[in-house]
Amino acid sequence: MIEEKMLVLLRQGKISKWFSGIGQEAISVGVTMALQNDEYILPMHRNLGVFTTRKIPLERLFSQWQGKASGFTKGRDRSFHFGTQVYKIVGMISHLGPQLGVADGIALSHILRNEAKLTAVFSGEGGTSEGDFHEALNVASVWSLPILFCIENNGYGLSTPTDEQYKCKHIADRGIGYGMESHIIEGNNVLEVYSEVNKIAKSVRKNPRPVLIEFKTFRRRGHEEASGTKYVPEDLMNFWETKDPISNFEAFLVRQDILSTSKIQILKTEISNEIQNGLDLAFAEDTIVADLETELKDVYKSFDDQEIKPNQSLKELRFVDAISEGLKQSMVQHDDLVIMGQDIAEYGGVFKITDGFVEQFGKARVRNTPICESAIVEVAMGLSIAGIKSVVELQFADFVSSGFNPIVNYLAKSHYRWGQEANIVLRMPCGAGVGAGPFHSQTNEAWFTKTPGLKVVYPAFPLDAKGLLATAIEDPNPVLFFEHKALYRSVKQDVPTDYYTIPFGKAALLNEGNDVTIVSYGAAVHWALETLDNHPNISADLIDLRSLQPLDMDCILNSVKKTNRVIILQEDSIFGGIASDISAQIMEQAFEYLDAPVQRVGSLNTPIPFANSLEQQYLAKRNFETVLKTLLEY
C-alpha cells in the first residue's frame, strides 16, 4: 500500500523518484523477520519491507524521501541512501557493490567480540557482476564471517536481462568457487523465505560462516518508474503476476481461515490511515533551511583533539621505526584496534613495520588480507559502523586506486550523509627516489585533498610521523597517512619514547628568515633543507606542512606577509597538485604583500620512470635551486 501510494504521488509530482519493489516484497520481509533486532541489515533501494518490518515510523521514511529534517540525512540524500544505528540498518550507495564489503566488516566485529550474531546484506543479480562482489565473498569465506549474502535475482539489471549479465545457470553456483555454502530460495513465498532463512540464520549463529542465498523473484515495475517496462515480454510479466507474493499470501491466509474479507478491509483501512497520517506530517514539515555553518561542520565528526604531550625520555629512531613504534603504542592504547593489510602478520609487511605484532597482539587484531584493496577498505568501514577502529596498510600508495571508490564515495561521505563516522586510517607508503618505477612510486595525495570528508597527513620526520599517526588513530574521521619510502631508513631523529599526539592542521617552521618563504612537505622538505645548507646566505622561512587536510594557511600567510616572496615545493607533478591550491589562496589573500609571482616547483608531468638518471630528471629536486635563485633575483 505504501508502494501504491508512492506511485500516485510520483504521478502527481509530489515525490521526485521511486524505486518500486512490487513483486519481490516477500524477500525483504522474510529475511528481516528471521534476523534479531540487534543484527545489522544492509538493504538496497527496493527493500521497503526491511524498513517497515523494523518498524521505522512512516513519517520519518516519508520525510527522508521528501528531503525534510525528520528524515535520516538532513535532506542530503534521498530514497534508501541512509543508515540508522537505532534500527541497525545501513543503507546503500548508488555504486551498489561496496556495501557487501561493509557487511563483511560488521560481521567481523561479531567474531572479534565473540558474539553469536550475524549480518545480512542485499544485492541484486546485476550487482554480482561488480568486482566488489567477488572481493567481499572471498574475504568472508577466508575469514569465516557470519554473514548472509542475499541476492535478489529479479530478472533484469535496469533493462539488461540475466543472460547478458552472467553465464552460470544460477548465481548460487558461484558459492562453490568460494568454498561457501549456498542456497536457492523461492523469493515470492514469504513463508518459505522466512522459514529457510531463519533455519540458516540459527545455524550461522552457532557455526559462524558466510552463506550465499539466491532468491528467485521478479521486478514487475521499472528499475525506477521513469524507466518503464517496455523491454519485458508481456507473457513473462503475466507469468510473474500470477506469482505475486502479497496476493498469493493473502489468498493463502483466507483459505486457512486466518484472515477474512472483513478483517482484510479493517487492516487496509488502518494501514491507509497510518500512511496518510505519516504523509500529512511529512508534507506539513517545513522545508530545510540551508545553513552554511551546519553544512560545513557536518562534513567531519568533531572530536576533542587535545594534544597528549610526550615525556622527556628520547631515543634515536629511523622514520620507519617511529611509525612502527607509534602503531604499536596505539594498539596498546586502543585494545580493540585492528590492523589489516597484505602480508602484515607473520611476514611483518613488506617494509617490516608490523614485524612482531602478531606475537604481541594476535592474529585476530593483526590480519593478513587477500589482495583486495576495495573490500578491505569496506571492511574497515563496517568495523567503524560496529564501533571498532582500524588501520589499513595499502602496501604501496599506488595500489589505493583499486580501493578508490569506497574511499571517496563511502568513507568520505558517510558522516555528512547520515552522521556515521569512518574511524579508519589508511597507511600509504609512497614516493619516488628508490628506483621503484611507475607503479610503486607515486605520491598521490592530491587525489584525496580534493575530496571533502577525508583528512590527509604527510610527515617528513620521525618525531612527527609517530605523533601524527597516533592522532590519526584517535581521530574518528578517515585519515590517509602518507609515508615516504625514501625516508624510511634514511632519516633519523630523537623521538619521545612514550605515547603522544601532534594536532592536525599545524605546520612546523623549520627555519626562519626574511627573504623568502619555502612551503613543502614529505621528502621535499629534506630537499629544501639541503639547498639551504648549501646556500647559508639565503634567509628563508621553511614551512613543513605536516598535514595537508586540514591545512595551516595561517602559518603560510603570516610568513608570506613577512618575506614577500614564496616558493612551494612538492614531489607530485605540478598540474592539479596541492601547490596550485596554496598558490591560489596566497594570491587571493595576500596579493598586496607579494614582491614577486608565487613560484611552484613540482616533478615532471610524466609517469615515474625506473632508471636512476630518468628518475633524477623527473624529480622536482632537479630544478628547485634554480627556481629559488630566480625568485630571489626578481
Instruction: Write out the catalytic residue numbers.
Output: 440
Selection from 47, 152, 129 nearest residue 90 by Cα: 47
- Which cell numbers in the block locate residue 353? 613495520
Q: Cα–chain-centroid distance for residue 370?
A: 18
> CA-CA distance, 437 to 416, in Å (whole number)?
38
Are β-strands 540-544 and 566-573 bridged in parallel, bridged antiparallel, or unpaired?
unpaired
Sequence-distant (≥ 6) Cβ neighbours of residue 575 within 8 angstroms = 602, 605
Selection from 442, 443, 494, 441 nearest residue 464 by Cα: 494
> CA-CA distance, 274 to 272, in Å (whole number)?
5
> CA-CA distance, 584 to 581, in Å (whole number)?
5
Alpha helices by DSSP H, listed for 207-308, are 234-241, 245-255, 261-284, 292-297
- Here the contacts of 272-276 (C-beta below 8 Å, separation 24 or greater) are 272/1, 274/58, 275/1, 275/2, 275/5, 275/58
Assess contact for 99 and 127: CB atoms under 8 A: no
Other beta carbons less than 10 A from residue 400's beta carbon: 22
- Which cell numbers in the block locate residue 296? 560545513
Strand partners, 481: 427, 457
> CA-CA distance, 443 to 451, in Å (whole number)?
16
- Which cell numbers in the block locate residue 517? 618563504
Are β-strands 479-484 and 424-430 bridged in parallel, bridged antiparallel, or unpaired?
parallel
SS (H, E, C) 290-347: CCHHHHHHCCCCCCCCCCCCCCCCEEEEEHHHHHHHHHHHHHHHCCCCEEEECCCCCC
Assess contact for 507 and 545: CB atoms under 8 A: yes
- Which cell numbers in the block locate residue 173? 553456483
**Is the four-CA dihedral 367, 440, 352, 530 of positive or negative sign?**
negative
Residue appearing with cell numbers 607503479? 439
> CA-CA distance, 74 to 446, in Å (whole number)?
29
Q: Cα–chain-centroid distance for residue 553?
A: 27
> CA-CA distance, 585 to 540, in Å (whole number)?
20
Alpha-carbon dihedral 352, 358, 360, 365, rounded to 10 degrees: 110
Sequence-distant (≥ 6) Cβ neighbours of residue 507 within 8 angstroms = 543, 544, 545, 546, 552, 555, 556
Three-class DSSP category at 442: coil
Q: Which bin fits 193, alpha (ψ -120 to 50), beta or left (φ > 0)?
A: alpha
Three-class DSSP category at 38: coil
> CA-CA distance, 229 to 208, in Å (whole number)?
41
The letter for the amino acid at 586 is I
Assess contact for 162 and 125: CB atoms under 8 A: yes
Assess contact for 547 and 456: CB atoms under 8 A: yes
